[in-house]
Amino acid sequence: MPISVSKFAQIQQRLLLAEHEDEIASSPLSSSSAAASASTRRALQNAGHALTGMVLTNCRTGMGGREVGEFGLDTALSGSGRAKGASKDEDNTRLGVHGITVGDIVRVEEIASGKTAAKSKAGQDDEKSQRGIEGVVTRVGERSIWAAFGDRGKGKQDEDGVDELWGRKLWLVKLANDVTYRRMNQTMAKLEKLQESEHSQLIRVLFGHTAPSPLDFESVGPLEFMDPSLNDSQKEAIRFALASREIALIHGPPGTGKTHTLIELIRQLVQRKKRVLVCGPSNISVDNIVERLALHKVPLVRIGHPARLLSSVLDHSLEVLSQTSEAAAIVKDVRKEIDSKQASIRKTRNGRERRAIYGDLKELRKEFRERESKCVDNIVSGSQVVLGTLHGAGGHQLKNQKFDVVLIDEASQAREAQCWIPLLPASRVVLAGDHLQLPPTIKSKSSSNSDQTNSALWDKEDLRFNELSNTFDMRNLEITLFDRLLSLHGTGIKRMLTTQYRMHQKIMDFPSDELYESKLISADAVRERLLKDLPYEVEDTDDTREPLVFYDTQGGDFPEKSPDSNGISAKSLLVESKCNDMEAAVVARHVENLVSAGVRPEDIAVITPYNAQVALLSQLLKEKFPTLELGSVDGFQGREKEAVVVSLVRSNQDHEVGFLGEKRRLNVAMTRPRRHLCICGDSETVSSGSPFLKRWMAFLEENADLRYPDISEFTS
């Protein structure tokens, strides 16, 4: 049945607020500009979230008239900020260990001296110095940090603040990023307010008010593919997307060349004079497409803060193009004049002269913004393909820009509200992703748990509406647009890629049969490749000749534990996290055997669903093999390695499996390797968790190289 657009938007806003509040409550960082006490500053610095005793050392003009400031330690105070191991005579300007990285949002604020504090109490202090100014970190060095100001959508006040920091003692603190939340919420509010007469054909289709239009293959015409390496399923997905009038879903299981397919689709759209907006939920998902698309000389521009982009795509960024294109000449002279004025501030201590310079700078920046706005508009309007994150699509650079097609990659990892940022003005969309892998991470239980009938979030009308929308749970942020459209319109709006180029046949078989309707086919080049066949010298051993190994720890000798009972601090781990020291020893032994056979540590990944087990494995392996990749299953989505070792952890008398009950998480775990997958776990506990897990254990017992580790080998 059709879904109420306004009711859907209302519920999304409620869920987003609950999620945002939960993120704030669980974060040590602030999202506001409230002043902090000296003890708070010290605590934040000790935790790596702040730097104190700083001064402004340099200033220049960036894109949009934003000021970019360089901050280093005040040499008169830098003894306390000295890096660990550096003596007084060695270096007193290094920042030391901290957790501030490129792309972080920071607030720079004056550290009040006794005199300043007295003025503040008397109400004489400058308001700006009290609340600080907020910006984005653009560069981090051993001795300084650069940040660009005036880019958080909070007006122009921050753009005029850096000049006033000269000669003041400062501190920098990392802030929680609320930009994405605000844009999602604003977009849902706009969607809610739309009258039915204002609903576009796309909106009507996306909410089931009308069926998708018939495919228009006639308008596609004869199709000549530019990439000769495309397989049949990739070609069919491209034909389908070109013929769709409102929506098309491209389902890309692991290793099936989804990005490869999207590049051809974009090139075909460009050839047909279509204007395309390409978005993804993360910067890396977008940059991955930019890198590949740029090889084909497609006229494109990447929008987004340059601090958050890969260095390999910066030449295609709006910031660089606005400084190097022909259109950039109209702003260069103003930029030079601004930089000259800023340099003169440091040379004068006369208050009246400084105020006059500040006034000149304000006018120059206004002119700069006006000129650059024209420059940016010319660059964006002249690009057939514009690429940016989903929330970046809500920036001022795309205001009034029209696109024929919106393409969203990794749509199964994006919250639906994020997708609506570029979709609200759109007429046609292509979604690409894999709904059988992990959905977007949701922290709030009230935003992810469907059993919310007693929650204060919901009234009777909400619950009735949810019952009527019986194809999916409206009260769950984990439900993506990709999921919802499949439930709403069925598989006719989707095409699946079926040839996979990553995994050995034995590694692929179970996920293909259980999750992908037995449709996956291994490409000839990967079907039988093993570790012993790597393009460097690797011994032929019991491990390197096996694509699939299963260490079955059943019997109770390898029990799980809570992290605090194993001597590991639980403060930084999930409250419900688990670890298994005996299983970790088995994993460590297997990794050592692979490396001894010649497999390079950087070609191996060890993953587990539990953060406590990650910490334990790090203690055992990281020092010995620094290039070995260790992490959670969730964090490894989208990645691949030659060999992957998976520690399942759970082994208990109650046969509780926790995170392992989520088949999408296991799908990610078992589809990361190219040549070798090693599973370590208790088949008795795991097989009791669900029918899916029982079938997986049976498959491993039948098809893997089955091994039963002897506890005595790991306790001596």
- Residue 9 CA: distances (Å) to CA of 192, 208, 211, 417, 451: 5, 15, 21, 9, 20
| pLDDT band, very low/low/confident/very high, at 42 (cuts 50, 70, 90) | confident
Q: What is the mean pLDDT of residues 645-657?
A: 96
One domain, residues 198 and 86: no
**Selection from 31-40, 356-365, 395-404, 449-458 with the highest mean pLDDT:** 395-404
Predicted confidence (pLDDT) at residue 667 exceeds the cutoff of 70: yes
Confidence class for position 98, pLDDT limits 50, 70, 90: confident
- Is a pLDDT exceeding 70 seen at residue 565? no
Residue 1, in any domain of the structure: no
Q: What is the 3-state secondary structure (H, E, C) of 488-543?
A: HHCHHHEEECCEECCCCHHHHHHHHHHHCCCCCEECCCCCCCCHHHCCCCCCCCCC
Q: Given this model, what pLDDT does residue 36 score?
A: 66
Q: What is the pLDDT of residue 473?
A: 65
Q: Is residue 25 part of a domain?
A: no
If one counts the domains in the chain, the total is: 4
Q: Is the pLDDT of residue 663 over 70?
A: yes
Distance CA 518, CA 534 (A): 28
Residues 255 and 391 in one domain: yes
Rg (CA), the chain: 28
Closest CA to 170 of 128, 117, 226, 110: 110
Contact 353, 244 (CB under 8 A): no
Residues 590, 695, single domain; the answer is yes
Q: Is residue 517 part of a domain?
A: no
Pairing of strands 67-73, 144-149: antiparallel
- The per-residue pLDDT for 35 is 58
Clarify whether residues 213 and 336 are in a common domain: no
User: What pLDDT is attached to residue 578?
Assistant: 93
The verdict on residue 505 lying in a domain is no
pLDDT above 80 (res 155): no
Q: How confident is the model at residue 474 (pLDDT cuts 50, 70, 90)?
A: low
Comparing CA positions, the residue from 443, 547, 455 lying closest to residue 503 is 547
- State whether 153 and 188 are in the same domain: no
Q: Are residues 117 and 195 in the same domain?
A: no
Q: Mean pLDDT, to the nearest integer, of 58-63?
A: 78
What average pLDDT does this structure show over 247-273? 98
Give the pLDDT band of residue 320 (cuts 50, 70, 90): confident
Compute the average pLDDT of residues 620-649. Answer: 95
The pLDDT of residue 456 is above 90 = no
What is the CA angle 193-198-199, rounded to 5?
90
Residues 548 and 577 in one domain: yes
More confident position, 177 or 236: 236
Q: Are residues 294 and 424 in the same domain?
A: yes
The C-alpha angle with vertex 253 and arms to 249 and 255, in degrees rounded to 5, equals: 130
Instruction: Write out the H or E segment, with its range, that includes residue 55.
Output: strand 50-61
Task: Report residue 81's pLDDT band, with 50, 70 and 90 as the boundaries.
Answer: very low
Other residues' Cβ atoms within 10 Å of the Cβ of residue 623: 8
Please indicate whether residue 492 or residue 32 has the higher confidence score (pLDDT): 492
Q: Of 473, 491, 509, which marks where a domain is finished?
A: 491
Specify the pLDDT at position 125: 46
Residue 454, pLDDT above cutoff 60: no
Question: Does the pLDDT of residue 631 top 70, yes or no?
Answer: yes
For residues 344 and 362, what is the distance between their CA atoms, to the nearest angstrom?
Answer: 15
245 in a structural domain: yes
Q: How confident is the model at residue 94 (pLDDT cuts 50, 70, 90)?
A: confident
Residue 507 within any structural domain of the chain: no
Burial of 232 (0-12, 13-18, 19+ CB in 10 A): exposed
Q: Which of 120, 155, 175 is the last residue of a domain?
A: 175
Q: Which two tokens stand for residue 175?
A: 């802030």
161, 65: one domain: yes
Same domain for 537 and 676, yes or no, is yes
- pLDDT greater at residue 135 or residue 681: 681
pLDDT at residue 394 in the model: 93
Residue 699 three-state SS: helix
Q: Which of 378, 379, 391, 364 is nearest to 152 (CA)?
A: 391
SS3 676: strand
Residue-level pLDDT at 575: 46
Q: Report, as an integer, the average pLDDT of 379-398.
A: 94
pTM for the full predicted model: 0.86
Mean pLDDT of the 34-59 span: 83
DSSP states along 643-655: EEEEE-----TT-
CATH number at residue 130: 2.40.30.270
Which of 241, 258, 239, 257 has the alpha carbon at shortest distance from 249? Answer: 241
CA–CA distance, 475 with 607 (Å, rounded to integer): 31
Q: Would you say residue 404 lies in a domain?
A: yes
Q: Could you report the per-residue pLDDT of 509-553, keeping only the tens digit for each?
A: 999 999 999 999 999 999 999 999 999 999 999 999 999 999 999
Q: Are residues 398 and 348 located together in one domain of the fold?
A: no
Domain boundary among 157, 175, 193: 175
Pick from 696, 616, 639, 246: nearest CA to 437: 639
List phi, psi (to 5°) of 679.
-110, 135
CA distance 66 to 336: 14
501 domain residue, yes or no: no
Task: Give pLDDT, residue 89.
Answer: 46
Task: Give the pLDDT confidence score for residue 158 in this predicted structure.
Answer: 46
CATH code assigned at 199: 3.40.50.300
Sign of torsion, CA 126 129 130 134? positive
Q: Judge whether residue 119 has pLDDT over 70.
A: no
648/682 Cα distance (integer angstroms): 8
Same-domain status, 263 and 170: no
| For residues 708-716, average pLDDT | 87
How large a percentage of the chain has pLDDT more than 70? 84
608-627: pLDDT as tens digits: 999 999 999 999 999 999 99
Alpha-carbon span 424 to 202, nearest angstrom = 9
CB 549 within 8 A of CB 543: yes
Average pLDDT of the residues of the chain? 86
In this prediction, residues 413-425 reach a mean pLDDT of 97
By three-state DSSP, how is residue 656 classified? coil
Output the six-digit token pair for 32.
């506001």
| pLDDT value, residue 86 | 43
| Residue 223 confidence class, pLDDT cut points 50, 70, 90 | very high
Domain that holds residue 346: 324-379
